[in-house]
Structure 1
Amino acid sequence: MLNELGTDDYGVYSVIAGFVTLLAFLPGSMASATQRFFSYAMGRNDEVQLKQTFSVNLIMYIAIAVFAYTILQTLGLWYVTEHLKIPEDRFEAAFTLYHYVSLSFVFSIFTAPFIAILIAHEDMHLYAMISVIDAVLKLVVAVSLAYVNHDLLAYYGKALFLIAIFVALTYILICIRKYVECQLRKLYWNTHLLKEILGFTLWTLFGQISTAFRNQAVTVLVNQAFTPAIVAARAIALNVASQVAVFSNQLNIGLYPPIIKSYASNQNDEMMSLVFNGSKLTFFLMWVFALPILLEMETVLTVWLKTPPPAAILFTQLAIVESLIFALSMPLATAARAPGRMALYEIILGSIQIAIFFISWWMLSLGYPSESVFYVAIAANVIMFKVRLLLVNRLTGLPISAYYKKVVVPVLFVIALSTTPSMFLYTTLEHNVFTAAFVILFSATTSIIAMYYIGLDKHWRNKVLEVLKSKLFKKRQSV
């Protein structure tokens, strides 16, 4: 995309898409509520509540979709035309792109509850399959940019809109055919459940709004203060960090239902085990990719992008550090949602996240460089991790000292034992593509060894061996 669109057009796309997804807190907060209430009902084996949850959420999602599209086509359109910094000769293309991205976003709203239902049922193979198809289609569209003659921004927006329609229809049809609670023939209404979901959703909504400030609003802020090339560098950094975190994020999605279900069925020991081991594993799955890329960021971006924006290297390193801190606390965030009492949790953490935007604004107004927004976010993530741990202790009784002993200490040892030899090798060898490949392989291998022997206890080492043996045995049998 960067090569075909060019730095300026890529920056325009990033700021338009980022502005639209400022409203991502709407489906995000609802999906969190849907998944929580579905998983909770499943933990209690309550089929009636499952049907009521679907009916209540379906009505709410329709209302959210209408509200979001109205905001995007009124206030949103006014802000894009009057305030976003877009080159004059690209304004018409950006205007067309904005409409397609807005429609894609509306379809993502309809998709969110069905994804939540699929995950609550722990049918991760279906979720994985559709996600792969979605990613492949987007890759095909990105490659096709090299063969399109007319305006690329408008074409790219339209193509993503068609993919959004396809993915939405796929999720909806699968859920309607597979799950008895997903039906459109009869409305199972429950006013008390509506109030519960609204209460949970409103506080989660506040958290999602604050997350939008943490990401997309800061991108708009950078657009106001710097050139499109800096915006493109930030977009690249956030993109790389999100891809490095893919495996850990997917693991956390898989952890959400069992954590909620174990809480609903009063299996507290099982829930604590899931949170402790989930925290370590989500971090480890990101670290094994993060360390090699952090060391060889310049080589990776040069091979991938040929001529990356100058600021992209530092931006990406800082974005990955921020994501690593967040990865460790993802299962804690899930545990906090289990009791359904979200007010204090969201007020405190949401306020810290909103503060990221205002502190970044203040620092940029004082003339600090563009990378300062990443330093602000990293510091805030460290604070949020500690606050999140205290709040989960209050909500669920999770023992803080045990968490530090079983999670934080092994993670710090793994970081130290894998980083030290990898840094020594990186600073000793002459820099070229071949030595970079060796450093990447060495650091990944060192990380895996440290994780296996230091990060995991004996029980989990045995589980890993059992899984590997079963996979290898199956493979040999099939041959």
Structure 2
Amino acid sequence: MDSNKKRIIKNTGFLYVRMFITMCISFMTTRIVLDKLGVSDYGIYNIVGGFISMFTVLNSILQTGTRRFLALNLGKGDKNVIKETFSTAFVIHLTIACIVTVFIETIGLWFLNYKLNIPPERMSAANWIFQFSMISVFLNITQTPFTAAVTAHERFNIYAFISIFDAIAKVITVYLLVTIPGDKLIIYGLLILIVNFIVICLYRIYCIKHFEECKFSLKINKEIFKEMAQFSGWSTLGHFSAVLNGNGISVILNLFFGTTINAARGLANTVTYTIRQFVDGFITASQPQLIKLYGAGNIPEFHQLIFTVSKYSLFLLSIIVTPVILEIDFVLNLWLDTVPSYTPIFIKITMIICLLSYSNNMLDQGVVASGYIKQLTCITTPMYLLDLPLTYIVLKLGGTPPTAYMVGALPLFLAFLSNLYILKKYTKFPARKYFLSVFLKNLLLLLIASIIPVYIQSKMPYGIERFLTVCSISVICTITILYCLALDKNTRTMVNNKIKSLIRIK
């Protein structure tokens, strides 16, 4: 298990280097893009791209299965099976890409031109963005097996390097957006498509050169296809709900409030996505190990990994949550020339929901890794599906956009309880202990840690001094509370020894 931990830590390190660089670049480029496109065009770009993403549900259905079967067969070490798994997955995703293209160019094109709430004078530009996004979707769907191969082989350094290249390329894109004359929305869409194409080529060149199974082949292994289809078939509803909730809510908000609200949602997603990278690197690095532990029948360590990753993911998120909730208004005003309405409250609500989401994340991964997709589909997925209709009902009854965001917490909490039940029933997972020692304890400690920062904020005037003071005190309070009350004795000893060794080195 020590080697597994070292591998996870090493891979997490690569992912955090990637995260830090891409985060800085993302914030810089978003400001410029919003300024050059304007709020309405920025909203158009987000709603069109999000709407097309809804059609990738077929790809999402098999995406998890592809990663799981590649990682599982790599663990078994049979090269022929690995090759056949990859080629079968590639043929399936190529077929899916063709099917999705047909749907996008028929139903999708009709919905864009006759249903979405887009200013008439910008419909031409919206159609260009629609076509660029469609090409990107086709390429990304056929890219899935290659990305899965990188993850399954745990080559997270390559994943990090290519992501950094992607971020730097987007800086160049912003420079070209500023300098090239013409319709900025169309130019931006075309430049992003070119960057996506280059990134996909880099992934494929690396995979074909370094992984034997990634050589081009259209061979299908019927047994592997059957296993993947059966596994993925049960996950259909789950992926459908994830895609529908993620992008369907953007469509509903557009129908009720227009493209300006989509600009606010797009900015909120940019900020929260960047913040989530602090945690996602740790989770992504642990996923292959989770699958391999279950595949090897090592259930105690399988359970322990879920506890450990969930606990430290929530610790990382807790350090960020309070400063963001208290001072995001100042950050947005400093970052953007124009802050679309509802952006700050969207971010605050999303950060609170993130605490619940990350309590559930590794449970969800545990159910997938253990192969109980049927149970996940029949028990947990119906909970997720409540989000979209609840959002529509709330808005139809006159609710505000923030209310629509808050509604998402209820289905997520029900899904969290469902996953606990599944893991407890089928893998003897200690669900009660997890609920009390990971979920409730972390929320309680976060509330305790936020008392002093909230008090200080209420006593200081708005400005840079309050921002620096509140953020600093918040981080210190959270780390102190977690260190004293959340870490067990062995972990505290390990942290102390690490700090002492760093001091000695200096």
Counterpart for residue 116 of structure 1: 148
Give the counterpart letter for 1:449 in structure 2: T
Is the contact between residue 235 and residue 376 of structure 2 (CA under 8 Å) also seen in structure 1? no
Match of 1:297 in 2: 328
Give matches, 1:245-394, under 5 Å.
Answer: 245-394=276-425
Pick the aligned partner of 2:458 from 424, 427, 445: 427
Post-superposition offset of 1:450: 2.5
Structure-1 residue corresponding to 2:174: 142
C-alpha contact 1:43 1:260 (8 A) present in aligned 2: no
The more displaced of 41-50 and 198-207 is 41-50
3-state SS, counterpart of residue 54 of structure 1: helix
Partner in structure 1 of residue 83 of structure 2: 51
One-letter code of the match for 1:60?
Answer: I
Match of 1:12 in 2: 44
Gaps of 5+ in 2: 1-32
**How far is 1:409 from its partner?**
4.2
Q: Pairwise mapping of residues 153-302 of structure 1 onto structure 2 (< 5 A)?
A: 153-184=185-216, 187=219, 189-302=220-333
- Alignment deviations for residues 299-342 of structure 1 (CA, whole Å, 9 cap, x no partner): 01111113212211111111221222111211111110122231
**Greater displacement, 462-471 / 316-325:** 462-471
- Aligned with 1:25: secondary structure? helix
Question: Which deviations, in whole Å up to 9, do the C-alpha atoms of 1:222-259 show, x marking residues without a partner?
Answer: 10011322221122222211111112112111111000
Name the stretch that deviates more: 402-411 or 219-228.
402-411
CA distance 1:161–1:345, shift in 2 (3 Å): same
Q: Following TM superposition, by how much is the alpha carbon of 1:408 offset from its aligned partner in structure 2, in angstroms?
A: 2.2
Shift of 1:54: 0.8
1: distance between equivalents of 2:89 and 2:497?
A: 40
Matches within 5 A, 1:410-425: 410-425=441-456
* Contact 1:28-1:112 at 8 Å conserved across structures: no
- Indicate how the Cα distance of structure 1 residues 138 and 24 shifts in structure 2: closer, same or farther if over 3 A, else same: farther
Structure 1 CA distance for aligned equivalents of residues 489 and 57 of structure 2: 41
| Alignment match, 2:11 | none
Give the aligned partner of residue 96 of structure 1: 128
> 1:168: how far off?
1.0
Distance 1:254 1:469, change over 3 A: farther
Deviation at 1:163, TM superposition (A): 1.2
Aligned to 1:105: 137
Does the alignment pair 1:23 with 2:49?
no
Deviation at 1:161, TM superposition (A): 0.8
Aligned twin of 2:26: none
The residue type paired with residue 117 of structure 2 is K
> Aligned AA for 1:3?
D
Q: Give 3-state SS (helix, strand or coil) of 1:26's partner.
A: helix
Looking at structure 2, the residues matched to 465 and 173 of structure 1 have their Cα atoms a distance apart, in angstroms, of 44
Report the counterpart of residue 73 of structure 1 in structure 2.
105
Report the secondary structure of 2:385's partner residue.
Answer: helix
Q: Is the 8 A contact 1:16 1:98 kept in 2?
A: yes
Per the normalisation by structure 2, the TM-score is 0.89
Q: CA deviation at 1:61?
A: 1.0
Inter-partner Cα distance in structure 2 for 1:145 and 1:472: 47
1:253-289: CA deviation from partner (whole Å, max 9, x where unpaired) = 1111000000000111111111001111222222222
Quote the offset at 1:35 in angstroms: 1.2
Alpha-carbon distance between aligned partners in 2 of 1:415 and 1:297, rounded to the nearest angstrom: 18
1:449 is paired with a residue whose SS is helix
Query: Secondary structure of the residue that 1:296 maps to in structure 2?
Result: helix
Structure 1 equivalent of residue 438 of structure 2: 407
Q: State the match for 2:27 in structure 1.
A: none
Which SS does the other structure have where 2:213 is aligned? coil
Shift of 1:417: 2.9
CA distance in structure 1 between the aligned counterparts of 2:393 and 2:436, rounded to whole angstroms: 38
User: Is the 1:33–1:197 contact (alpha carbons within 8 Å) kept by the matching residues of 2?
Assistant: yes
2:477 to 420, 439, 446: 446
TM-score (normalised: structure 1): 0.93
Deviation at 1:175, TM superposition (A): 1.3
Closer, same or farther in 2 for the Cα pair 1:192/1:464, shift >3 Å?
Answer: farther
The amino acid of 2:349's aligned partner reads L
Structure 1 vs Structure 2 CA RMSD: 2.1
Alpha-carbon distance in structure 2 between the residues aligned to 1:353 and 1:193? 29
Share of identical aligned residues, percent? 26
Deviation sequence 1:206-230 (CA, Å, 0-9, x none)? 2111012212101100100113222
Q: Say if 1:410 and 1:454, in contact at 8 Å, map to a contact too.
A: no
Q: CA deviation at 1:405?
A: 4.0
1:87 is aligned with what amino acid? P
Q: Alpha-carbon deviation of 1:108? A: 1.2
